[in-house]
Amino acid sequence: MKKLKYIVFLFITFLCFKSVKASNCSYEDFAKYNRAALDIKTSYEFKETKDDTGYITEYFQISAINVPDTLYIIVIGDNGTKNTLNPDSSGIVSFPSYSLGSVVNFKFEVYTSSKTSCPNEKVTELYLKKPMLNPYYSTGYCLADPDNSFCDRFVFQEVSMEDYDKFAKTTRDNKKKENEELLKEEEKDDSLNKIYIIAGVTFGVLIIGYIGYRVIKSRGQRL
* Residue 130 burial by Cβ neighbours in a 10 Å radius (0-12, 13-18, 19+): buried
Residue 189, sorted as left (phi over 0), alpha (psi -120 to 50) or beta, turns out to be: alpha
Query: Which band of pLDDT confidence, cut at 50, 70 and 90, is reported for residue 198?
Result: low
Calculate mean pLDDT across residues 184-206: 57
Query: Which parts of 66-103 are beta strand (E)?
Result: 71-76, 82-85, 93-97
Query: Which band of pLDDT confidence, cut at 50, 70 and 90, is reported for residue 6?
Result: very low
* Residue 200 burial by Cβ neighbours in a 10 Å radius (0-12, 13-18, 19+): exposed
CA distance 169 to 163: 10
Query: Which of these, 132, 79, 77, 131, lies nearest to 109 by C-alpha position?
Result: 77
- Lowest average pLDDT, out of 5-14, 29-38, 139-148, 213-222, goes to 5-14
* Pair 93, 71: CB distance under 8 Å: no
- Lowest average pLDDT, out of 4-13, 25-34, 173-182, goes to 4-13
Domain spans, the chain: 24-133, 134-223
Query: pLDDT tens-digit profile of 21-42?
Result: 446 789 999 999 999 999 999 9
* Pair 46, 154: CB distance under 8 Å: yes
Query: Which parts of 51-182 are beta strand (E)?
Result: 56-65, 71-76, 82-85, 93-97, 104-112, 122-130, 132-133, 154-155
Most confident option among 70-84, 150-164, 170-184: 70-84
Q: Is the pLDDT of residue 206 over 90?
A: no
Query: Which band of pLDDT confidence, cut at 50, 70 and 90, is reported for residue 52?
Result: very high
**What is the architecture of the domain spanning 24-133?**
Sandwich (2.60)
CB neighbourhood size of 191 (10 A): 10
- Lowest average pLDDT, out of 3-17, 18-32, 49-63, 126-140, goes to 3-17
Cα angle 25-29-32, degrees, rounded to a multiple of 5: 140
CA distance 19 to 215: 122
The pTM is what? 0.66
* Pair 120, 21: CB distance under 8 Å: no
pLDDT at position 176: 74
